Every structure is written in structure tokens, then in C-alpha cells.
Chain A
């Protein structure tokens, strides 16, 4: 059973188990093409196996740094981008969700049984958003709307507000003539605009007002879920608050579900019922907003919280530190825990690998220049060859001394210096799975939560 469906059975009382949208092990790889023939040389793993559920009327916050795949995932959920693997299911009853979890579990050896295959097929055609056709497809399309980050780019500059907001109603032939106008006015009034704005162009509005127009458009079909892709990131703080309050109001009026994508933790804190923290295409931690903010179970979550200067609460228990280093290349994500390269709590069991040594070398240009080859037996075992023995010696020194992270040093299982060659090996570490940490809570970290709560390791 996948972590997400475990969470389901743990948390909600019976009766409210049906999730509106179920994201199951979703992957989205973008091919990297090179050369005249556009040969595929690798894949950027923008989203790499993400699962979570969104239930009716709840807000799920999706948070992470730039480039962690949160916007890609949002586009997948709203059906704008095809997914490479996994599945996104709309309105999946709880029973079928459990069944799906069992059937597609990796433990089921030798692939699903023929009967199961049929069952899977039935679930897919009835609920999987990229397999829905006809009436079911329209039902999903109507019920899942989206608000984009850039309010200017997401409104056709040649259309009047009336055209923009009435378009969904016209597409589904919900209203015509004066009824259409009145419906549009009603929608505009719900988002704090009015009849006087009907016949204006988007460029005549401020950023906040334009975002209100986008929201009115998203509300037009009375959807069950709205994907909000950083709806307030381009707005200044006072306008941001207005838009967030508007969204909260609309949610309580209409029992809307939100998938709220943002990099801003204070916004998430204000808006979300549950939070999904993403790092490099994977979920690093998920849980109820209150609990997650009280005690993060993943060092990345803690680092994000520390990176947020908190004006409201000066006695915040985390000092403002921020994250060091850059996000690794998502085409070659780090082994073990993907965050170990930047993690201040990292231990020897976090998945240190040859690439980490190469990364350390990059900080020493003189040594990096003389690196002539890396002969890998695996990601954890390789021989590094240098132009001269001096540089090889220098690397060995580096690895023995404190010039590299202590955890990396500790996890080295072999370090041999032979002339110009340094052969190194690490303990092989599997990918750190997302494991359940109590009701509604999961994190992908090898450490005990108390270590993360108490502060810097060692």
C-alpha cells in the first residue's frame, strides 16, 4: 500500500474518505535532446513519483523551491501536461482507491493477475483523468479549473472582461444573451468587481484586479477543485492578503478544494489544511499544516522554514539561515535522500555517492581542472583519475581531512590512493522512501524527528 493511501486510512473518519483527486506515483520526465538528430540523451525528472490526495473542500498546499517540479505537477493535475507514469484519478471512491493501491503495489510480484488487470482497466477508464472520454471527460474538465501565476499572461489581451469570464459559460452553453451577462456580473461581484468592469480590457486593471478576473473565470463553471499556481506570487503583500482572503471566503461558500502551489511558506500556513513539501520532483514531507509547522520531520522543511524571515513572530524558534548551495541537476538526482547534498543533518546513511565527491572537487578549481576521468562501477564505486599524482594525493587528503562533509567522510567504505588514481566506494543506499509518521503524516528521512527538532546534528 502506498504511503498516501495509508494516510487516508489513518486519518479521516469513515464516510469522508472519498478523495476528489488522487495523485498516484505521478512521474513527468522531460527528454533532453542533443545533436542534429535530436537524440534523447537523458531525462529531466521534473516530477518523480508523487502521491497525495485532495478531498472535497480542503486546501492542499504544494510547496518547494523553484525547480522542484511543483508547477509541473500542478499542470499535470489540471490536465495541461501529459504524465510519463503513474496516474491522476478524479472522484475515486475510497474502496477503489484502496484496491488501486493494492493492485499497483510493487509487492505484487509477477505483475497484476488477469482479473486485477481488468479491475485496473475499469478504474482507469472511469476515473483516470487522461483516460476520461465524453461526458466523464467534460465532467472532469468542468470541475477542475486553474488560476495561473501571471495574471497578465493568462488573460487574452484582446478579450474584454465579459468575453474572458463568460467564455466557460459559452463553451458549455450554460447561458446566452442577457442571462449570460447577468451570470458574468454575478461572478464579478463575487470576486469584488462589478458591472462597471464588464467592458474593459485586462490591461486596464491592476495585478490584483486581474487575478480577481482569473478567479471569476475559474469559478464560472462552479468547479469542485481549483488548481492555484502561485496565484499571489506576482502581487505585492497587501494585495496578496486580499486575494488570499477572497479565496478563503469562496472556499467556505462553495466547499471548494484547492491545490495551492507556492514557494511562500507564510501563504501556505495561512491557506492550507495539509502541506506537501516537494524537493527535486519528490515529496520530502507531508502532513497537516499545524503539525508540520510545529515540528518538521524533514530537514528540508526545517530549512525552508528557517529561510523565511518571520516578522509576525520575532521569537520564532528558528533563526533566519536560509538554504545553502544550489538545487542539484534533476536529470541526475542524488542517490539515497535527494536532499543529502545540502542537508545540515546529513548522516553516513543518507546516500553519499561518487557525484558528491565530484561536487566537492568543483569547489577546488585547481584540482577539478586536473581530473581527467571517472571510471564508475556504480554510482557508489568509482576510480577517479587525475593528470598528476599530486592532485590525486590532494583529493585523498581532502577526503581524509575535514574539507568534505563529515557524513561523507564517515560513509566512505574504501579510499585507496594509487599513483594518479583514487578509488573510492560508499555503502550502497537505496532511495529513502516516504514513510508514515503517524496520522496523516509522512516524511522521507532516515533521521528521527527529534534530531531535526533539536537542531544541528553532531
Chain B
């Protein structure tokens, strides 16, 4: 377009400019998506995640919500210990008449809540703490990292278990316990990334321009440091459900709620007497959930690898 070379300014020019900047950024994003979906295992993982989230969202339409609290398992005392295929209870019932199908469907909501809340809070806390340590250095870094060391010195599961046990059995306490335990990982990753990124010359270039410290952090340091955190967060979306289920399994969640770990725990007594279904179906869901996020996390790591990105 030759008009665009006119020195006079037309209002549409900036509109066009924004549009093409957007297009270039979109292209870059599409490139990332392309690299992601070129990996078949990642596509499998994505498919599983999408369907799980679909189930979680549409749970009220798939399995009629229990009244008054849909997260409580419905009890059908007339149909106790029914095997899969029983009319009305397609995946069978537990030994207290809970519908396994209902538990599997509504349990995906609980898992999604758990993962999002735990990963969300830990990423935010870890990124802030790690950034502060990496940016400020000196004694701030020293103090923060020694605190992180204390947290890291206790095995994740045992630490979470201890906290949840002290606070008493409830789903909220599991969320809290996992958040307390898992933020340190992000703090560590973020600190290392920030220390590396802040030495880049483009940070010096921004300082020479005279941009504010906050702007330099937000525009230069954070976007170039966050990639490993993204990958770790994706992997943790799966791991959190695994650990959460473990805590639920040993009874640190409310009894009788539609949560996969609780269901596995309540069903495991029946396995010896041949009633495999009450534990197996929720167990399978836990397995699929964790596997799917791990597959996507791995794919994301490959797709975001700076050696393959953007060239």
C-alpha cells in the first residue's frame, strides 16, 4: 500500500498498525500451538484434559446433582454393592449405596478445583518470592532461600500430610496443605531464571533508556523467565491431584464427598471380596488426569525450548 508512506497521519493507520502487530504475535502463538500438536502424545494428553474439563463443567447435566450439596455422594440404600451395569448405576455402587458413576463425574470437578487452586496460588506466591530473591539479591535472597531450603528439606507428601493432619480432615485443608508445600519449587525455579535473565544486555538497554524497575521486570525479566514455571505448573496440575488423592485416601478429606481419592479409599475394602469397581473407576480417573497433564507438560517443554523456538 503506497498510501501508508504518506507523512500525514491518518487515524486508520494506527488501527492497521495494531492489527499487524497482533497478527505477528498471533502467528508466533500459532507456531507454538503447531509445535505442540505435532507431537502425538501431547495431542492425546490434550484430548484427555479437554474431555475431563468438559466433564467437570457439564457435570450437572451428566449426573443429576445431589441435593442439597452436589459434592456429597448420593446414597441409595436400596442398591448397595451393585456391580457395574446395574440399571441406574452404570458403574455400580459402593458398600454404602454411593453411585460410582456420580462420584467419577463430580470428582472431576473436585480435582479441577484442587489443581487450579493449588497451582494458581503456588505459582503466584512462588513467582513473587522467587522474583524478589532473584532481583534484590543480597540478604533478602539469602533469607528467602534459607526458608525455601527448610521447606524443601521435608518430603512433599509427608509435609502435606502433617499439615493436613494438624488442621483436621477437610478438602479446604488439603488445598491449603498442598499450597504451603508446593510454592517453594516455583520460588526456586523463578529465582534461578530471574538471576539469569537480569544479566541479559537487553535489561541494561532498558536501564539506559531510563525505564522504571517495575517496567523492566514486567516487560523484560518476567516474560523471559516464566517459561519453566509454565511447564512445571502444567506438570503439577497432574501431580497435585495425585498427592491430593493420597491425602484423601488416608482420610484427610471429608468422608462421603465425591472425590476420587475418597472413593478409592472407601472402595478398597471391597476389592478383596471381588467388588473391584468402587475403587477402580475413580483410580482410573486419577491415573488419566495425572498422565494427561504430564504428557502435555512434556510437550510444552519441548515446544517452548528456546533452541527450537522462533528460528
* Chain A residues packing against B (C-beta within 8 Å): 75, 78-80, 138, 141-142, 144-146, 148, 150, 153-160, 162, 167-168, 171-172, 177-182, 195, 198-201, 203, 214, 217, 221
Contacts and interface: CB of A to CB of B under 8 A. Distances in A.
A155 B210 contact: no
Contacts of B211: 167, 171
A166 B226 CA distance: 24
Interface string B211-227: 11001000110011000
Contact of A178 (B14, B207, B208): B14
B11 interface: yes
B287 interface: no
9 A-B pairs closest in CB distance: A178-B14, A141-B210, A154-B201, A153-B201, A156-B202, A199-B24, A146-B208, A177-B14, A168-B209
23 contacts: A80-B208, A141-B208, A145-B208, A145-B209, A146-B205, A153-B201, A154-B201, A156-B202, A156-B205, A158-B223, A160-B25, A162-B17, A171-B209, A171-B215, A177-B14, A180-B14, A181-B14, A182-B7, A182-B9, A198-B17, A199-B17, A201-B28, A217-B209
Interface string B76-100: 0000000000000000000000000
A171 B210 contact: yes
Given A177-B14, A181-B14, A203-B310, A195 B224 contact: no
A156 B220 contact: yes
Contacts of A171: 209-212, 215
Contacts of B215: 171
Contacts of B11: 178
Contacts of A146: 204-205, 208
A307 B176 CA distance: 68
Interface in B213-247: 215, 219-220, 223-224
A316 to B, nearest CB: 36
B10 A178 contact: yes
A200 B20 CA distance: 10
Nearest to A177: B14
B205 A199 contact: no
A242 to B, nearest CB: 22
Contacts of B24: 160, 199-201
A177 B14 CA distance: 6
Nearest to A181: B17
A129 to B, nearest CB: 12
Contacts of A162: 17, 21
Contact of B17 (A142, A167, A168, A178): A178
B132 to A, nearest CB: 21
Contact of B311 (A158, A172, A203): A203
Interface of B: 4-5, 7, 9-11, 13-14, 17, 20-21, 23-25, 28, 200-202, 204-212, 215, 219-220, 223-224, 310-311
A78 B210 CA distance: 11
Contacts of A144: 208
B206 to A, nearest CB: 7
Contacts of A150: 201
Contacts of B21: 160, 162, 198-199
Contacts, number: 94
B15 to A, nearest CB: 8
A157 B224 contact: yes
A148 B210 contact: no
A78 B7 contact: no
Given A168-B210, A181-B14, A201-B28, 18 more contacts: A75-B204, A79-B207, A145-B208, A145-B209, A146-B208, A148-B201, A154-B201, A154-B202, A157-B202, A171-B215, A180-B14, A181-B13, A182-B7, A199-B24, A201-B24, A203-B310, A217-B205, A221-B209
A406 to B, nearest CB: 46
B17 A80 contact: no
Contacts of B223: 158
B310 A142 contact: no
Given A153-B202, A199-B21, A80 B210 contact: no
B17 A155 contact: no
Nearest to A79: B208
A199 B212 CA distance: 25
Contacts of B204: 75, 80, 146, 148, 154
A33 B310 CA distance: 40
A75 B204 CA distance: 9
B310 A153 contact: no
Contacts of B20: 198-199
Nearest to A146: B208
A177 B5 CA distance: 16
B201 A80 contact: no
Nearest to B12: A178
B69 to A, nearest CB: 46
Given A154-B201, A199-B20, A167 B206 contact: yes
B41 to A, nearest CB: 28
Nearest to A151: B201
Contact of A179 (B9, B28, B209): B9
